[in-house]
Amino acid sequence: MKPRSIRSRRFVDRAVKVLSVSSALVGLVALAWILYEVIRRGIGAFNISFFTKAATPPGVPGGGVANALVGTLLMTVLATVIATPLGILAGVFLAEFGKRSRLAAAARFASNALIGVPSIIIGLFVYGLLVVTTGGFSGYAGAAALAIIMLPIVARTAEDMLNLVPDSLRESALALGAPRWRTTLGVVFRAARAGMLTGVLLAVARISGETAPLLFTALNSPYWTHSLAEPTPNLTVTIFNYAMSPYHDWQRMAWGASLLITAGVLLTTISARALLRGKI
């Protein structure tokens, strides 16, 4: 095989650098453009009524998305409560106890496959599992769909963070007579807690903008949430309904709700990255 000349290597190197920088700039420009449009169109909707009142009929002033915000928070919190312990326990099994076993290999394959499943398929699955069997849409079904989306993200992140903990820490604790479970909880978890918390935050950011699963499960409601056992208002479906309407005031609130979700996702992502770097 004839070696390439230094000139051709430098050309390829510079061409790859130019393409890489150009791709990064395209992504940054797209992000900046989206943020600019969302802020420009949505900031005008922010007022006291927007955060404290429920939706009003078209043309009636003073409405807001407070009911949708509360419903979204309730379903997100419930999904996090369901998915976090299950995901962390799965990560502990994969990193500490199962490792190279056949069950662990099957679990990793299932986790990777579940991460790639479109969210609308998960919503359809929960629709058939809970909505059809119970006879109605509910916030519980919406939280279940969001928890399924969160679960593989938390599990894989927990496994990766636990694998980064040096084996010398485990061996030192075991040499002092600590049982395996206490070593895992008191030593390994303590060393990997920032990374695992980062995984939870990233999973929360992942589900914050989901619309399709909630259309099949929680649906939506223009009223305040009194129970998650009934159709539950949420920001993403509210944005979809308002943006598709011909009413200017509803479209304005859709942009405001979009800005609210965007700010929440950005704040969560930044917090997760800061945690991972050990800055907070």
What are the pLDDT digits (tens) for 115-126? 999 999 999 999
- pLDDT digits 0-9 by tens, 212-259: 999 999 999 989 988 999 999 999 999 999 999 999 989 999 999 999
Which amino acid, one-letter code, is at 173?
A
- Residue 136's SS3 state is coil
Give CA–CA dist 211/226, Å, rounded. Answer: 21
13 and 69 share one domain? no
14 and 82 share one domain? no
Which amino acid, one-letter code, is at 218?
A
Query: What pTM value is reported for the model?
Result: 0.89
37 and 61 share one domain? no
- Residue 81's SS3 state is helix
Give CA–CA dist 36/262, Å, rounded. Answer: 11
Q: What is the pLDDT of residue 280?
A: 41
68 and 207 share one domain? yes
Q: Which of 97, 9, 32, 75 is nearest to 220 (CA)?
A: 75
Instruction: Judge whether 121 lies within some domain.
Output: yes
181 and 252 share one domain? yes
Instruction: Judge whether 197 lies within some domain.
Output: yes
Instruction: Judge whether 244 lies within some domain.
Output: yes
Q: What is the pLDDT of residue 180?
A: 86
Per DSSP, the residues of 177-233 read: T--HHHHIIIIIHHHHHHHHHHHHHHHHHHHHT--HHHHHTT---SS--S-TTS---
Residue 32: alpha-carbon gap to chain centroid: 21
35 and 134 share one domain? no
162 neighbors 188 (Cβ within 8 angstroms): yes
Q: What is the pLDDT of residue 156?
A: 92
Give CA–CA dist 166/168, Å, rounded. Answer: 5
Instruction: Judge whether 129 lies within some domain.
Output: yes
Q: What is the pLDDT of residue 200?
A: 92
Q: What is the pLDDT of residue 3?
A: 66
Instruction: Judge whether 1 lies within some domain.
Output: no
Q: Which of 131, 133, 114 is nearest to 122 (CA)?
A: 114
Instruction: Judge whether 41 lies within some domain.
Output: yes
Instruction: Judge whether 39 lies within some domain.
Output: yes
Domain that holds residue 29: 6-45
Counted domains in the chain: 2
177 and 225 share one domain? yes
112 and 10 share one domain? no
Q: What is the pLDDT of residue 195?
A: 86
Give CA–CA dist 196/101, Å, rounded. Answer: 23
148 and 233 share one domain? yes
Give CA–CA dist 228/74, Å, rounded. Answer: 8
Q: What is the pLDDT of residue 142?
A: 96
Give CA–CA dist 74/205, Å, rounded. Answer: 15
Instruction: Judge whether 116 lies within some domain.
Output: yes
For the chain, 280 residues long, give each residue's pLDDT as a single digit of tens. 566 678 888 888 899 999 999 999 999 999 999 999 999 999 999 999 999 999 888 878 788 999 999 999 999 999 999 999 999 999 999 998 888 889 999 999 999 999 999 999 999 999 999 999 998 999 999 999 999 999 999 999 999 999 999 989 888 888 888 888 889 888 899 889 888 988 899 899 999 889 999 999 999 998 998 899 999 999 999 999 999 999 998 999 999 999 999 999 888 888 877 876 754 4
19 and 56 share one domain? no
User: Which CATH number characterizes residue 138's domain?
Assistant: 1.10.3720.10
78 neighbors 142 (Cβ within 8 angstroms): no
Quote the DSSP letter at residue 118. -
Residue with tokens 């939706």: 55
The two tokens of residue 24 are 């990064």
86 and 159 share one domain? yes
How buried is 202 (Cβ within 10 angstroms: 0-12 exposed, 13-18 middle, 19+ buried)?
Answer: buried
Q: Which of 112, 103, 192, 124 is nearest to 153 (CA)?
A: 112
252 and 151 share one domain? yes
